[in-house]
Structure 1
C-alpha cells in the first residue's frame, strides 16, 4: 500500500517520479497543461503530447489505445472544459458531460495501460459554497455547492472519487490536486468563456484603447478570491509528482486572497485605464469567498514565487503580444 506524506519534510520524502521519466500531459495546449509542459521539460523529463485533432480525450476507446501504445511512466490530467460564470450557466450539459468523459477515458485508460503515476487536476470549486475559510481538503462533500458552477464541480468531484477508488481497489499511485483560481500565459481571453482575471484585463484594455469613460463589471465586487500564477501551479504539480502519494487531494494556492473590487483596481492600474469602475449588482457574485488552506502543500516545501501584480503584468504583456500577432 502507498503512504501519505504531508507530514514529512521534502528531504525525507521518496522520489515517486524518477528523473527523465516519460510523462503524458493531457490538455497540453491549455493554460495549465502548457505550463506543466514547460516545467517538466525544464527539469529534464520527456514530455508526451497529442493534439486534439488527433485524439479526442472524450473517446475512451481511442484514448486507451493511445496510452497502451506509448506507455508513459506518468500522466498529468490537465485537460478539461473550463470557463467562468457565464459559460457555466450557458453550457451546463457540456461542462458536466465533457469533463466526465475526459476523466473516465484518461484515468481508466492509464490504469489499463499500466501507467504507474497519475496526477488529476481538479478545481477549488469542488468545495461547498459556504465552506470554512481557509478551506481545508476535509471540507469536500460537507455542504451545498455554488449553483453557478455545480455541473463542473460535480464532474471534478467524480474525478477525485475515481482517483481514490483506483488507489483503494488496485493500489494505484494516483493523486489529485485542487488548484485555486489560475491565470497566466495561455489563458482564455474570450469575452463569453473567460474567467474573471483575463476578462478584467481585456475589458480594461479595450476601454483604454477606445477612450471609454467607465467600465461596468458584474456583481458587487465584494467576493474574495485567491489567484495563483500558472507557472507556480506547474512547479507545485512537479513537486507533488515527485514527493506526494496520499489518498486525499492537495490544495494548491498562494494562501492569501483579495476582494474582486481590489483585483479590478489592480488590473486597471496595470492596463493604464484611467476611467471609473461601476458595478452591476443585478448580476451574480458567485461564491462569497474561496481561500484554500494550503498547509498540506506547504509542508512539502512549496512556496509560490510570482506576485499578483507581477503576474498580471506578465499576463497582460503576453496577451498584447498574442493580440498583435492576430491583427
Structure 2
C-alpha cells in the first residue's frame, strides 16, 4: 500500500474505527478520510454515493456499525439488522463503483453458530443455528461477508473480511445498558467503589467462556491484513485465550479497586456458552497480539477514567 493513498475509515469515532485510525497513523498512513455521522449518514444511499463519487478513496475500511451487548441486541433487533444492512450495502457497493483498490469489512465472532465446535474455525460459518439474543446483528454481518465474496467473484473487487473476537479498550461504549461486558463491568465496579457498595451483581451465571482482544491489537491485525491478504475467505482475529465472565469480573474488580462481593444473576442470559476463535490462519501469516488481558484491562480503565467517567 502506498503510504500516501487516500484511506476512508468508516466509523472512525467508534471503538474499532478509532483503533484502526491510530494503527494506520503508527504505520505511516496519514492521508485518512473521515466523516462523522452528522456529516455523512451511511444509511443514506444517495449521500453515500455522492461522497464516494467526490472523493474516490483508494482504500476503504468499513468499521461503522450499530453495535451493543446482549440487552441492546435483544431489545432492538430491527434496528440492528436494518441499519447494519443499509450501511454495508451502501459502502461496499459505492467503494466498488468508484474504483477503490481494496475494501476491508469488519464483522464479529457472533456470526458463528451458538453451539459451534471449539475453537471456532472460519469454515464453521452457517453450520448451525445462531445465538438468539443477537441473531439479527449476526445475520447482517454474515450478509456483509457474502456481499464481499460476491463482489470479488463477479467483479474481481478486492474486498476482504475480518471477524474480530470480543473487543475492548480505548474508545469503548460505557453506556449502563447498551454496552458490551467489559466496559459494562468497568463502569459498574467503578461506580460501586465510589459509593462504597458491598456487592455487585453480574449478568448470568458467570460461567460462560469468552475470548477478549484489546482493540489496538485488533487494529494492528487490520493493517496487517490490508497489506498482506487478498483472498475469498474471511479471517478470524483473536488471541486464542479464554476466561470465564466471573474471572474477568474479578480481574476488573481488582484493577478498579472494588473490594466487595461479586454475585451472579442466573435469571439473566449467559449468551453463547463458549466462544473461542481459531485464529490460526492469521497467526500463520505472521501476526500475533501483544496485550495480555490484565495489561489491556488496565489500559482500558485508564481510558475510562480519563475520557468517560464524568458524571458517574
Q: TM-score range by the shorter chain?
A: over 0.9
Q: CA 1:91–1:114 in 2, change beyond 3 Å: closer, same or farther?
A: same
| Deviation by residue 1:83-108 (Cα, 9 ceiling, x = unmatched) | 00000111110000000000001001
Provide the rounded CA distance (Å) in 2 between the counterparts of 1:307 and 1:262.
14
Residues 197, 154 of structure 1: CA spacing in aligned structure 2 closer, same or farther, 3 A cutoff? same
Confirm whether residue 57 of structure 1 aligns to residue 72 of structure 2. no
Q: CA deviation at 1:299?
A: 1.1
Please give the alpha-carbon distance, in whole angstroms, between the structure 2 residues aligned to 1:177 and 1:323.
28
- The corresponding residue for 2:275 is 290
1:44 maps to which of 8, 28, 39 = 28
By relative contact order (CA 8 Å, sep 6+), the higher-ranking structure is: 1
Counterpart contact for 1:80–1:102, Cα < 8 Å: yes
Q: For residue 303 of structure 2, what is the aligned residue in structure 1?
A: 318
| Among candidates 216, 225, 232, match of residue 247 of structure 1 | 232
Query: What do the CA deviations read for 1:180-221 (whole angstroms, capped 9, x no partner)?
Result: 000000000001110000001111111111011100111000
Flag structure 2 segments of 5+ consecutive residues without an equivalent.
none
| Cα distance per residue 1:130-150 (max 9 Å; x no partner) | 111000000000000000000
Distance across 1 between alignment mates of 2:225 and 2:145: 15
| Rounded Cα–Cα distance in structure 1 between residues aligned with 2:11 and 2:109 | 19
Are 2:85 and 1:100 aligned?
yes
User: Does 2:29 align with 1:21?
Assistant: no
Does 1:77 pair with 2:71? no
1:18–1:242: 8 Å Cα contact kept in structure 2? Answer: no
* SS across alignment from 1:129: coil
Q: Partner residue of 1:276?
A: 261
Q: Secondary structure at the match of 1:118?
A: strand
Rounded to whole Å, the distance in 2 between the matches of 1:127 and 1:32 is 20
1:227-280 alpha-carbon deviations (Å, 9 max, x no partner): 000000010000000000110000000011111110111001000000001011
Q: Pairwise CA RMSD of aligned residues?
A: 1.0
Distance 1:185 1:206 in 2: 19
CA separation in 1, counterparts of 2:5 and 2:275? 35
2:203 is the alignment partner of 1:196: no
Aligned residue in 2 for 1:10? none
- Conservation of the 8 A alpha-carbon contact between 2:23 and 2:223: yes
Distance in 2 (alpha carbons) for counterparts of 1:47 and 1:300 = 26
Name the CA distance, whole Å, in 2 between partners of 1:212 and 1:112.
56
What does the per-residue CA deviation read over 1:31-69, in whole Å, with 9 as the maximum and x for residues that have no partner? 000110111122221111011101000111111110111
Give the TM-score normalised by the residue count of structure 1: 0.94
For the residue of structure 2 that corresponds to 1:292, the secondary structure is coil
Question: How far 1:325 sits from its partner (Å)?
Answer: 5.5
Q: 2:182 matched to 1:186? A: no
| Residue number in structure 2 paired with 1:170 | 155
TM-score by length of 2: 0.98
* Contact 2:166–2:211 under 8 Å retained in 1: yes
Q: Aligned with 1:254: secondary structure?
A: coil
> Given the alignment of the two structures, is residue 34 of structure 1 paired with residue 46 of structure 2, yes or no?
no
Report the counterpart of residue 250 of structure 2 in structure 1: 265
CA distance in 1, matches of 2:106, 2:303: 24
